[in-house]
């Protein structure tokens, strides 16, 4: 077990030694600053006041840094998150196979299953860390604009969630939302990882996974498959916002995350089957 953890640590070091790994972190930070500036200049706070005022008298209390951070996350996470998660996960096997690194690794007494599992866990860890980074930076920028304190107005109309919290409970729900979304987004990286196991270019794996995620999201947003939304992965990933509801509907969340877990296991298994059949040593 200790050796496995050491190998996993080595894979993480290898991943974060690449400059492209940090592109997502940098772009997320810049985009969040741009979004906050746009919200400020476009009078977004006045619009928020109109939304909050009918439901509470202390609406100014809830237009806080925490509320702004949550809004920024909702605006940025799916598009950019999908892009950079697929970029990294699509590279993690295909790029090393293209460069000949896998041939060198498999010359050692290590099974293909172990090697692939380490790379899958590394890609999944990156997905969680990237989303948590997004939540953390959005929180810091929100504090920079509005200061510490205030309430938390959780607003997710797509799943009919409207809730009000004080600062302490609001931070707890915000952190829980970040963790849940990070776990959910591992499914997006799993799609790219699965395609990366095929003998294709890294760019093809990235574009293929990103295309699937965007089509899935478009079908959900357009309500074209409203009666069959359970077939859409973004529908299940989207339940992360339910943890900010006053009463958390854990059965619905557990069901969706069970589906995502099953999808992740299936994609890894199919990817391993493809990877096992490839001739990488000749």
The residue ranges of every structural domain in the chain are 2-277
Closest CA to 185 of 257, 95, 253: 257
pLDDT for 104: 66
pLDDT, tens digit, 9 for 90 and up, residues 142-180: 888 878 888 888 888 778 888 888 888 899 999 999 999
Using CA atoms in the order 4, 8, 13, 18, what is the torsion angle rounded to 10 degrees? Answer: 140
pLDDT, tens digit, 9 for 90 and up, residues 187-199: 999 999 999 989 8
DSSP symbol at 174: H
pLDDT for 54: 64
* Residue stretches of the chain with pLDDT short of 70: 1, 39-40, 42-58, 99-109, 279-282
pLDDT for 23: 79
CB distance 162 to 57 below 8 Å: no
pLDDT for 108: 67
- The structure's pTM equals 0.88
Closest CA to 182 of 217, 137, 133, 229: 133
């Amino acid at each position: 077990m200790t050796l496995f953890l050491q190998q996993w640590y080595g894979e993480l070091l290898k991943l974060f030694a690449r400059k492209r790994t940090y592109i997502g972190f940098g772009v997320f930070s810049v985009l969040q600053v741009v979004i906050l500036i746009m919200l400020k200049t476009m009078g977004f706070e006045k619009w928020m006041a109109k939304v909050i005022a009918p439901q509470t008298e202390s609406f100014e209390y809830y237009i806080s840094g925490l509320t702004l951070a949550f809004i920024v996350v909702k605006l940025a996470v799916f598009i950019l998150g999908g892009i950079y998660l697929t970029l990294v996960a699509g590279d993690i096997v295909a790029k090393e196979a293209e460069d000949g690194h896998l041939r060198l690794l498999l010359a050692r007494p290590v099974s293909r299953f172990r090697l692939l599992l380490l790379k899958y866990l590394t890609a999944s860890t990156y997905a969680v860390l990237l989303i948590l980074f997004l939540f953390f930076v959005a929180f810091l920028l929100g504090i920079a604009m509005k200061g510490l304190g205030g309430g938390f107005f959780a607003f997710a109309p797509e799943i009919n969630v409207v809730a009000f919290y004080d600062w302490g409970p609001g931070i707890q729900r915000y952190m829980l939302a970040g963790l849940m979304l990070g776990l959910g987004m591992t499914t997006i990286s799993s799609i790219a990882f699965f395609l990366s196991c095929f003998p294709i270019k890294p760019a093809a794996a990235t574009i293929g996974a990103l295309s699937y995620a965007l089509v899935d999201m478009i079908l959900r947003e357009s309500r074209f498959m409203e009666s069959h939304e359970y077939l859409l992965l973004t529908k299940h990933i989207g339940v992360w916002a339910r943890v900010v509801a006053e009463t958390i509907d854990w059965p619905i969340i557990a069901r969706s995350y069970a589906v995502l877990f099953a999808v992740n296991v299936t994609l890894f298994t199919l990817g391993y089957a493809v990877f096992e059949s490839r001739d990488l040593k000749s």
